[in-house]
Amino acid sequence: MTTPESGNVALVKVYLRAQNLEQIGRLEEAIDLYERGVAGRFDSTGPYDRLIAIYSDQGRHREVVRVAEEAIVSVHTHSEKRAWYERMREAAQKAMAKAPRAVPKPARPSTGSGSPDGGRGAGG
């Protein structure tokens, strides 16, 4: 049986491992572990802060909003830190609103053959 305390110990270990991976440049693995902390509703600021910083640097504004909202719900911290999460969420929402929307490319005219070479064969 897992007690809440043993769950927290496991999340602390996950967080520390993520920090180590980030420090040696294994960012995607670190992100995966930080995300495990968030999914586990880790009640300390560490994984949330790191993900917000990483996702901000990568321009992944939706992820910043999501992580900031998770932090507001899960992290038991002082009011200044909660206000910081709210500011980060707001800044990411503004950045998303300013970002240009992807426009689909127009469809290529069909060659009618269904093959990429227009039915000409390898000898063209």
CATH number for 9: 1.25.40
Domain presence at residue 107:
no
Q: Which pLDDT band holds residue 42 (cuts at 50, 70, 90)?
A: very high
Helical segments of the chain, H only: 4-23, 27-39, 46-57, 61-74, 79-98
Average pLDDT, the chain: 86
In a domain, residue 52? The reply is yes
Number of domains within the chain: 1
In a domain, 62, yes or no: yes
- pLDDT (0 to 100) of residue 106: 76
Residue 87 is assigned to a structural domain of this protein: yes
Query: 22 is in which domain, residue-wise?
Result: 4-98
| pLDDT attached to residue 1 | 45
More confident residue, 102 or 124: 102
pLDDT tier, 107 (very low <50, low <70, confident <90, very high otherwise): confident
Determine, yes or no, domain membership for 109.
Answer: no
Distance CA 69, CA 87 (A): 11
What's the whole-model pTM score? 0.74
Measured distance CA(27)–CA(12) in Å, rounded: 18
Whether 104 is in a domain gets the answer no
- Please check whether residue 105 lies inside any domain of the structure: no
Q: Does residue 16 have a pLDDT over 70? A: yes
What does the pLDDT look like over 44-96, one tens digit per residue?
999 999 999 999 999 999 999 999 999 999 998 899 999 999 999 999 999 99
pLDDT of the residue at 38 = 96
